[in-house]
Structure 1
Amino acid sequence: MSALVLAVLLSLVSAVAYAAAAIVQERVAASAPSSAYAPVRRPAWWGSVTLNGLGATLHVAALACGPLTLVQPLGALTIVFALPMSAVFIHRGAGAAAWRGAVMASAGLAGLLALTQGSDAGAVAMGPRLILAASGFAAVAALFMASRASHRAAIRSVLLATAAGAAFALASVFTKSVAEDWHSGLPLVELPILLATAGFAASGLLLSQASYRGAGLAAPLATVTVVNPVVAAAIGLTLFGESFRYGSAGTAIALAFGVVAAGGLILLTAERPAGAGRRNPVMASGPAPGADGRRGDDRDQTSTPPALR
């Protein structure tokens, strides 16, 4: 089995683990709105942390086998897997638009996969990595502060999910960077990068948990899955010297496939879960989901399986 095929398989299993973790996180956020970032008293949340840890471990292994421009886009399959998994485990169906979005996202990712190639570039110097880490933390902090200033649940959720996606992407970038140096023995000078990796990973987990509060599953998860590969691929192309096949033409075609994948994810973001209005007839004539935090949370709690309460 080639390293590229192994990277694809590991990425697929990692996406399943991340999808399961996202479903649990959203259910915890719906039933415990007062614990925005880390509901440590909820066993279900620790289950989501475990699933995220499993997904991250497989993701790290995939990064060791394949390039960022391949592994990160495959992570967008998380929301594609989340659709049928949420229908099976929490009886939340998806409409036709959601399935069209899933097909578009899969087709776009398949095109990116076909055009991706690795790089023989050497390890990146410590100076640019430290600059990237500082810039990354500043950007994530700015998005977090902007979310705190927003009074609309939808905007707050998107800002937090954007920050989470960027944090996860930067964690993957630095994981790839450390993996490049690991073959020749990991020097102590890598300690700041290891700390930055842990910081970005923890920040991504806490920010993603907060992004589900009052926003459901699809919008935050789709935002994370769009931002993550875009940020990581941009860094991979510029910092690691990765590229697409067939030169400029291949890059243009890859961008077109990226647009198709992004369009699919936008459909997934805009799709309202099927049957949302039928679960609570009173809410059907009331405010839109998220317009009233108390009523929206009450509605979500009534649909939460007992195991996740």
Structure 2
Amino acid sequence: MSALTLAVVLSLISAVAYAGGAILQERVAVSTPERRYAPLRRGIWWVAIGLNGLGALLHVVALAYGPLSLVQPLGALTIVFALPMAALFVRRKAGATAWRGAIMATVGLAGLLSLTQSADAQSLDDAERVMVALVTAGAVVALMVVAHAVHRHPVVRSVLLASAAGVAFGIASVFTKTVAVDWEANEPLMHQAPSLAVIAVLATAGVLISQASYRGAGLAAPLSTVTVVNPVVAAAVGLTLFGESFRYGSAGTAVALGFGVVAAGGLILLTTERIGAAQGVPTPTVTVAKGGPVAADAVAPEAWPEELPAVPSQPQPQPATGPHRRVLFRHGHGRERIGS
């Protein structure tokens, strides 16, 4: 088996592992909605973490045998693998709109990454590392705050959290490349320790935030968002700080921007598809049986809205006998008043 073939095989297995981990994370989010970030006591969640770790390891090994322009686009197949795997193993079928959005996001991302041209290996200096870490922390926190503010819209909240996770994963990859370059240059460990700490923090934050993103939004939208935002953020840093560029000059840049629009359109399609599905969920109604207790219609609890609007207490008018039109009001403490 040639090195190129081995890189392709490892990339495909890595994408399958990532897809399996995402499916398990989404199932954990459905079964334990009260634990938004880290259901540590669920064994299946740790299996998902193990699959994600395996996917990351295989991806790194694939990069050692194949070029970045081949391995990175193959990683985008995670979205395409996840949908049929979810339908096969957990009976979670995706509609035609979800498939179109996932394929658009995958094609756009693959095209964008295939046009990225790597430069000579270089590392970030100390000032750039501090700047990138602070900007990343600010972006992740801002996305989480906005996601919390729109918690009444689960799909929008999910996409925002998935974007935050993608930013964390993408910058973790940037620092990983920096550490690898420093290692090859025989930099002392004390110089690499801060970067290793940043990698650990960002990777952990990405895992926990991505887990929260699967709550109430299905599988395709958050997974596609993480899969697209992660390499796009890393590529943006590479273009601005690592001296990377797009192939074929201005024409390649224009085509790459077109692929970026296609990927963004796929994400928008996935988001609107999930919003439409959420709006189609029946709202539970309440009926009162004559002479009996209150009974609710048979609607699954997970389909109920998170918060029901409060109904203000108002006096109830009742007709009274007599020549004049009078209304009986009942006040607190058991007192009554009759007025016109």
Pick the TM interval, shorter chain.
0.7 to 0.9
Show the counterpart of 2:331: none
1:302 alignment partner in structure 2: none
Residue number in structure 1 paired with 2:45 = 45
Aligned to 2:166: 165
Structure 1 position 62, deviation (Å): 4.3
Distance 1:284 1:265, change over 3 A: farther
Q: Which letter does structure 2 place at the counterpart of 1:291?
A: P
With over 3 angstroms needed to count, the CA separation of the structure-2 counterparts of 1:62 and 1:69, relative to structure 1, is same
Structure 1 residue identity aligned to 2:166: G
- C-alpha separation in 1, matches of 2:298 and 2:105: 30
Structure 1 counterpart SS, 2:41: coil
Contact 2:8 2:62 in 1 (8 A): yes
Task: Check the 8 A contact 1:67/1:117 in 2, yes or no.
Answer: no
State the TM-score, normalizing by the size of structure 1: 0.81
Partner of 2:267: 265
Choose 1 or 2 for highest CA Rg: 2
The alpha-carbon deviation at position 83 of structure 1 amounts to 0.7
- Count matched residues: 293
Contact conserved, 1:105 with 1:263, CA < 8 A, in 2?
yes
Q: Distance between the aligned counterparts of 1:222 and 1:60, measured in 2?
A: 21
In 2 relative to 1, CA 12–276 (structure 1 residues): closer, same or farther, beyond 3 Å?
Answer: farther
> What are the residue-to-residue correspondences of 1:48-87 with 2, within 5 Å?
48-62=48-62, 74-87=74-87
Shift of the alpha carbon at 1:21?
A: 0.7
Counterpart amino acid of residue 209 in structure 1: Q
Q: Which residue in the other structure is 2:136 paired with?
A: 136
Say if 2:143 and 2:161, in contact at 8 Å, map to a contact too: yes
Query: Separation in 1 of the partners of 2:214 and 2:116?
Result: 32
- Name the CA distance, whole Å, in 2 between partners of 1:110 and 1:46: 29
Q: Which one is further off, 187-196 or 223-232? A: 223-232
1:228 offset after TM fit, Å? 1.4
Match of 1:193 in 2: 195
**Residue identity opposite 2:167 in structure 1:** A
SS of the residue aligned with 2:264?
A: helix
Cα pair 2:3 2:66 within 8 Å, conserved = yes
1:215 corresponds in structure 2 to: 217
Q: Distance in 1 between matches of 2:103 and 2:156?
A: 27
Please give the root-mean-square deviation of Cα atoms over the aligned residues, in Å. Answer: 3.4
Between the aligned partners of 1:204 and 1:262, the Cα distance in structure 2 is 21
**2:60 alignment partner AA:** V
| Other structure's SS at 1:231 match | helix
Q: Deviations over 1:181-236 (max 9, x none)?
A: 22233422011001101110000000011111122212221221232122111111
Q: Any residues of structure 2 matched to 1:81-230 within 5 Å, and which?
A: 81-152=81-152, 153-188=154-189, 189-230=191-232
Quick one: structure 1 residues 103 and 224, their matched pair in 2 at CA, closer, same or farther if it must change by over 3 Å? closer
Is 1:76–1:229's contact at 8 Å kept on the other side of the alignment? no
Give structure 1 stretches of 5+ with no counterpart.
295-309
Q: Distance in 2 between matches of 1:6 and 1:47?
A: 25
Higher deviation after alignment, 264-273 or 169-178:
264-273
| In 1: Cα distance, 2:68 partner to 2:141 partner | 24
- Determine whether 1:291 maps to 2:305: yes
Which gives a bigger RCO, structure 1 or 2 (Cα 8 Å, sep 6+)?
Answer: 1
Partner letter of residue 43 of structure 1?
G
Q: Structure 1 residue 244: deviation in Å?
A: 1.7
- Alpha carbons of 1:250 and 1:24: their partners in 2 closer, same or farther (altered >3 Å)? same
Structure 2 gap ranges (5+): 285-296, 309-340
CA-CA distance at 1:7 after TM superposition: 5.4
Q: Secondary structure at the match of 2:228?
A: helix
Of Structure 1 and Structure 2, the greater helix share is in 1
Task: Tell me, yes or no, if the aligned pair for 1:119 and 1:241 is still in contact at 8 Å.
Answer: yes
For 2:197 and 2:169, locate their aligned partners in 1 and report how far apart those are by CA, in whole Å.
14
Letter in 2 for 1:156: R
What letter matches 1:200 in structure 2? Answer: L
Runs of 4+ deviating beyond 4 Å: 1-9, 62-74, 282-290
Letter in 1 for 2:103: V
- Read off the aligned partner of 2:27 and give its amino acid letter: R
Structure 1's 195 and 142: CA in aligned 2 closer, same or farther, altered over 3 A? same
Equivalences for residues 12-23 of structure 1 within 5 A:
12-23=12-23
Matched with 2:288 is: none
Q: Which amino acid aligns with 2:239?
A: L
